[in-house]
Structure 1
Amino acid sequence: MNMELSPSVKYWLNFIHPVLMWALLLLSIYAAYLGLQVQRTRHAQGEQKKELIKGKYNVKHYQIGSILLGLMVAGAIAAMAVTYINNGKLFFGSHLLAGLGMTSLIAFSASLSPFMQKGANWARMTHILLNFVLLGLFTWQAITGVQIVQKILTQA
């Protein structure tokens, strides 16, 4: 059975990953904001703490983080699959390596959740550090990804 995709389908598949990743970058910035609100809530006192608790930032941060984890891992795998389908190989370079690193970082960061829920401050600090590194890498990935998309567009 031949499962060859049409050239137009192959072409448009190239843009799923970049669009998804830009959306996830924006969602990551929102997750960082929510995480900072969780920290503010944790350190607040009195009326300010009561007011911040109403925002349920911890629940929102956890839910957005879960969505990010799933979509980022799926997006990374899908990008490699599309690249392989369209080119018969993966292009070994900084974009691929950073993307694989990001996938590892988000998985490791999420795996710290049970420890944070039990109050382990080392896990909380590690989670924050990993996520700031991840956000920095993600921003760099977005820039190099635009360069890749521009190359695809000029080859069309």
Structure 2
Amino acid sequence: MIFEIPPSAKFWLNFVHPTLMWLLLALTLYALYTGIQVRRTRAVETEQRKELIKGRFNLKHYQIGSLLLAIMVLGTLGGMAVTYINNGKLFFGPHLLAGLTMTGLIAISASLSPYMQKGHDWARYLHIALNVSLVGLFGWQAVTGMEIVQRIISKA
């Protein structure tokens, strides 16, 4: 027996990935903020440093980064799965390629954590460069993703 998803459920599944990705973009911007605060903590004088340390930005940044990695991987796989369920194929194009690239970038960025914890500056700079690229791609993905959502709505 083959499990068949009702057509109305298939339609609404189209909006899970975009909604999740918009939430992920907001969380990514918060991770950027906490990362900047961690960087500031390293660079400021003693009195300011004491105040910034109370914010526990390093722990927040690490935890949010871990959550981002998990959600990014699941969101990428989920978006591809829903596309396949609804169309019987994946659409090979810029949105898919950029999404897969972003998933790879965030995985590489997260894998640098042990090196950053040991104080390797090259890992910090690479982490920052990867994540700046990731945020740029994410902004572009938001635009192309909304174009896809508009096409889905117009076909309904």
Interval containing the TM-score (normalised by the shorter chain): over 0.9
Aligned equivalent of 2:101: 101
Aligned-partner SS, 2:119: coil
CA distance in 1, matches of 2:127, 2:79: 26
Cα offset, 1:44, TM superposition: 1.2
Cα offset, 1:96, TM superposition: 0.3
CA distance in 2, matches of 1:33, 1:127: 14
Residue identity opposite 1:109 in structure 2: S
Q: Identify unmatched segments of 5+ residues in structure 1.
A: none
Aligned equivalent of 2:28: 28
Aligned equivalent of 2:54: 54
- Show CA shifts across 1:79-133 (max 9, x none): 0000000000000000000000000000000000000000000000000000000
Aligned-partner SS, 1:91: coil
When normalised by structure 1's length, the TM-score is 0.99
CA distance in 2, matches of 1:67, 1:52: 23
Cα offset, 1:70, TM superposition: 0.1
Give matches, 1:1-156, under 5 Å.
1-156=1-156
Cα offset, 1:45, TM superposition: 1.6
Kindly report structure 1 stretches of 4+ aligned residues shifted beyond 3 Å: none
When normalised by structure 2's length, the TM-score is 0.99
Aligned pair count reads: 156
Q: Identify unmatched segments of 5+ residues in structure 2.
A: none
- Cα RMSD (Å): 0.4
Residue identity (%) = 66
